[in-house]
């Protein structure tokens, strides 16, 4: 039987690694502080005006009798009991109406002003970090070299998707570069999701709307922008969850080490272990 050989490559540059960890910190704080802001009015609408009787999403509480409360989530008119997760949370041992529970928000207590400060600070940090990554990627050719799918990769999209669904990951030379699904996911996040979520967030500011009225027209109103901002945040959370699943399935320590030190081990057949 052929021996397994471990070959080391430099997979991530220092700029990519630093931007990755700054992004991670920003997204965690933005998500938790964003839920804190959402809790101040846990309902979403479409259009410019707030139609309080017709939210497409609402988290609330209902009296279930005997002094008990049920958490109620309404989505497009459909009612779901979500006690213990959404709508009602235990605060200091007592059930209280609350959209998202304290452990999911920053700060944990209901504190809108501080949540907004955290959110705005880390939003601008995310923007600055993104601009640094964008400038570096354009100057060095990182996007063209590492993120643009090749014609051969596009031709084998179905096979790549099936391999991932079966948790079969590239080996040898194929593992030296991002695969097609990674490239497409990163391109969508970097050039679609993140810019849109920032613009939707800016659209919720009356001061910026007065300076850039086209934002309101682009998103179809301030309430639509708020809903789109929330949905894009959910899409980013889904991306992160799938990303973490793939990191664990394809080799947790190898992937973490490559994002800390840049060194990535590739398993090949034949020859002794090389370090």
Cα dihedral angle (110, 114, 119, 122), rounded to 10 degrees? -140
Question: Which band of pLDDT confidence, cut at 50, 70 and 90, is reported for residue 21?
Answer: very high
- Flag whether pLDDT at 223 surpasses 50: yes
CATH architecture of 4-42+101-269: Up-down Bundle (1.20)
Domain boundaries of the chain, sorted by first residue: 4-42+101-269, 51-99
Q: Which helix (H) or strand (E) holds 257?
A: helix 222-260
Question: Which band of pLDDT confidence, cut at 50, 70 and 90, is reported for residue 108?
Answer: confident
Question: pTM here?
Answer: 0.89
How far, in Å, are 20, 34, 142, 197, 254 from residue 204 at the CA level?
27, 13, 33, 11, 41
Sign (positive or negative) of CA dihedral 139, 140, 145, 149: negative
- DSSP calls for 56-104: SEEEEEEEEETTEEEEEEEETTEEEE-TTTSEEEEETTEEEEESS-GGG
Find, among 77, 110, 107, 78, the residue nearest to 96 by Cα: 110
Residue-level pLDDT at 211: 85
Residue-level pLDDT at 270: 56
How much is the mean pLDDT over the chain?
Answer: 90
| Residue where the block lists tokens 């990519």 | 16
Question: Which band of pLDDT confidence, cut at 50, 70 and 90, is reported for residue 185?
Answer: very high
Range with top average pLDDT, 139-148, 153-162, 225-234: 225-234
Min mean pLDDT across 70-84, 164-178, 245-259 is at 164-178
270 SS3 class? coil
Residue-level pLDDT at 274: 45
């Amino acid at each position: 039987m052929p021996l397994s050989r471990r070959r080391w490559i430099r997979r991530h540059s220092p700029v990519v690694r630093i931007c990755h960890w700054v992004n991670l910190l920003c997204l965690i704080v933005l998500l938790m502080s964003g839920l804190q802001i959402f809790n101040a009015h846990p309902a979403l609408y479409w259009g410019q005006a707030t139609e309080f009787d017709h939210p497409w999403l609402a988290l609330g509480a209902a009296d279930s009798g005997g002094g008990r409360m049920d958490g109620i989530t309404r989505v497009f008119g459909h009612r779901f009991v979500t006690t213990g997760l959404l709508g009602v949370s235990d605060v200091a041992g007592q059930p209280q109406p609350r959209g998202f529970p304290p452990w999911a928000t920053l700060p944990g207590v209901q504190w809108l002003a501080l949540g907004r400060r955290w959110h705005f600070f880390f939003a601008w940090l995310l923007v600055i970090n993104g601009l640094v990554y964008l400038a570096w990627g354009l100057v060095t050719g990182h996007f063209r070299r590492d993120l643009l799918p090749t014609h051969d990769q596009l031709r084998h999209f179905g096979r790549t998707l099936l391999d991932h669904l079966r948790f079969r990951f590239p080996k040898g030379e194929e593992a030296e570069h991002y695969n097609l699904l990674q490239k497409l996911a990163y391109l969508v996040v970097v050039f679609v999701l993140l810019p849109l979520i920032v613009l939707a967030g800016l659209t919720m500011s009356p001061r910026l709307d007065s300076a850039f009225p086209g934002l309101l027209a682009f998103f179809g109103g301030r309430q639509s922008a708020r809903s789109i901002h929330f949905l894009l945040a959910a899409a980013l959370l889904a991306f992160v969850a799938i990303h973490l699943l793939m990191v664990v399935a394809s080799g947790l320590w190898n992937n973490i080490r490559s994002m800390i030190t840049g060194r990535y081990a590739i398993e090949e057949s034949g020859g002794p272990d090389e370090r």
